[in-house]
Structures are given as C-alpha cells and as structure tokens.
Amino acid sequence: MSIFSRFKRQQVEAESTQVDIFNKETEGLSQGQIVLRRFLRHRGAIISLLTLTGILIFVFSALNFQIGPLKYHGWWKYSYTEQPELRTQGCPQFLSGCPTLSLNPFSKAFGLGDHPFGQDDIGRDYFALVMRGAQRSILVMFIIGAVAGFIGTVIGALSGFYRGKLDAVLMRFTDFVITIPTIIIGSVIGFHFGNLGATFLALYLGLFTWTGLSRLVRGEFLSLREREFVDAARVAGASDRRIIFKHILPNAVGVIIVSVTLIMSGAILLETGLSYLGFGVVAPDVSLGLLISQYQDSFTTRPWLFWYPGIFIIVIALCVNFIGDGLRDAFDPRQRRRISRKERATARQISRAEKSA
C-alpha cells in the first residue's frame, strides 16, 4: 500500500469516526440544543461572552443614571461632570492628575484610590469619564446592530423570496448605498445629528450599515425557497408571510446572528473613528473615541489619558468578534470539532462492538 493510499484511508477513518461521535452526542437533541452545545465548546467565544458581560455590568453600574421615573445610584463617588480639586501629590514633576490605581498588593497605596484613571486638564475624574464614554459607545454599538439587522433582514428576505422586479429594485438600491464610503456617510450624519446625542446618531448610522447583511440574507432565501419543505408548505396552503417567518427565516437565523455581531463590532469602531474626527458624539456628552480625540496630544506626557479608552475599545471589539466567530461555528453544520485520541479509541470500540453484535 502506497503512502498516499494509507493517508487517504486514515483520513476517511478519521472523518467517519468524527461523524459517529457527532451522531452519538446529538442523538435526541433539537437543533437549538445542538447549536448551544457547539457554542459552549468554543472557549474563545465563552471567555469573550463572560468578559463582555462583566464589562457591561461594571460600566453601567458605576455611574448614576435615570430611565423615566427610575433612578439608579452608581457605586462610584464621582460623576463625569464633577470637577474635584486637581491632584498633584505623587505625580512626576510638572504633571498633575496622575492615576492612583495600584495593583501592587505589597504597596500601601494598593487599590483604586481617589482617581484610579487620573484626572483631565480641568480636574474631572477620568474613571467616570471613561465609564460614561464606554456607556455611550456600547449603546451606539447595540442600536446600530439592532437597526441594521432589522433593515438588512427585511430587505434581503423580500428580495430573495419574491425575486423579479422587486429584487432588481432593492438590490440596485443596495448597490447604490454600498458605493458610498461608510466614513463619508458617517461624517455627514455626525456633523448634522451628532449634537442630538448618541442615541439619534446610532439610529441614523444604522440606516446605512445594513447592506452586507441584506446580500447574505438574500442569498440564503434564494437557496432555501427552493427546498422541499417550502414546496410542502405551499401545497398545504400556507401564505407567503407564513412561509417567510415560519419556515425560511428560522433556517437563515444563523447567518443573520453572525452578521449582526460583525456589524456591532464594526459599529463601535465606526463611532470611535467619527468621534475622533469630530463628527460623532459631541461635548458635553462623551464617548471613547471623543476622549481619545480630546487627549491625543497628551500621549507623550500623560499617556494614561489615551490608554484607558483605547483598552476598552480594543477589548469590546475583540469580545464581539470572538462571540461572532463562536456563533458562526455553532450554526454551521459543516463545522466539526477536533476529537481526542481517547474519544477516537472509544468510537472504534463502539463500532467494533456493534459489528460483532
């Protein structure tokens, strides 16, 4: 037997073993349970999900906020508008407002201190500013994801299901929106509507970030509308609305969820870039991009004013990307996890026992 034939035989045996293990593990489980099990096995996605959840709880519980008649008092003692006395004690020469955060357990100053992230030029607590900026940036991220996900799903579903003239009109409109650079659209929107607040800015940006999702959903609908279960639903007298929402859309939800997570990770970077250029969230409100823009000249003298917003941006974007990667693997039926030698040996024993029986 040649080396190539031996390799092909081992490869076929490995794939067969992998399929056997997968069938044994998923026997009796629904599609939702199978997806959940796959997602829970993606270590990067689970760690990112826990990290992002911790960041959300930490950021939104730090400062006071009010939703209608409901008021919540945060655990941090300063607000992002207060101006305590500018601190100079313990700072290098000719500098003020340096961070009091100390991670050395053997130091007397171990802990957060009065101003863990330092203070800005006028004495505002930078920890409160970063928390407020993270709240605004995360809010923009989720709103853009929701708006773009809804519009992209609706346009892609209608275009892929009905085809014909409606498909031509919707796709030509999508092509027109795609040809306009996102940063230019965002700059125009931010210039005219940035002063209305982060919520309105996110709503307007969401109206122009759905194009990629609509194309993916259209492709899924074009494929799924030709399947046997759709023909069976038509024969049974189901309406178009029922076929779309009850039969086709649940089978395309994997593509939608993964695409929305990628839109969200791109949204926080888009908001950061616009705020950095001065077209995003404007004062007196703050965002992470606006903080970096305001204190970019302090990078060499007081780098902590640049570090902390940048760290939050990178961590949030990476977490959302890893979560999207885990969801993609979970919803993709072609993805197979690696199996260990012990599992491969167990599968072989089971196969031999079944053959002998």
Report the alpha-carbon distance of residue 46 to residue 38 in Å, rounded: 11
Q: Note whether 279 and 190 are within 8 A (CB).
A: yes
Q: What is the pLDDT of residue 152?
A: 95
- pLDDT class for 33, splitting at 50, 70, 90? confident
Biggest CA-to-CA distance, the chain: 84
Q: Is the pLDDT of residue 113 over 90?
A: no
Q: What tens digit of pLDDT does each residue of 133-182 get?
A: 999 999 999 999 999 999 999 999 999 999 889 999 999 999 998 888 87
Q: Is the pLDDT of residue 6 over 80?
A: no
Report the alpha-carbon distance of residue 255 to residue 330 in Å, rounded: 11
Task: Enumerate the domain spans of the chain.
Answer: 43-66+74-89+96-331
* CATH 1.10.3720.10 at 43-66+74-89+96-331, yes or no: yes
Token pair listed for 355: 């053959």
How would you classify the pairing of strands 70-72 and 65-67? antiparallel
Query: Taken in order 244, 247, 253, 259, is the CA torsion positive or negative?
Result: negative
> How confident is the prediction for the chain on average, in pLDDT?
82
Q: What tens digit of pLDDT does each residue of 332-345 get?
A: 755 554 544 554 55
Q: What are the residues whose beta carbons fall under 8 Å from the beta carbon of 179, sequence distance 6 or more?
A: none
Please report, rounded to a whole number, the percentage of residues in the chain having pLDDT higher than 90.
27
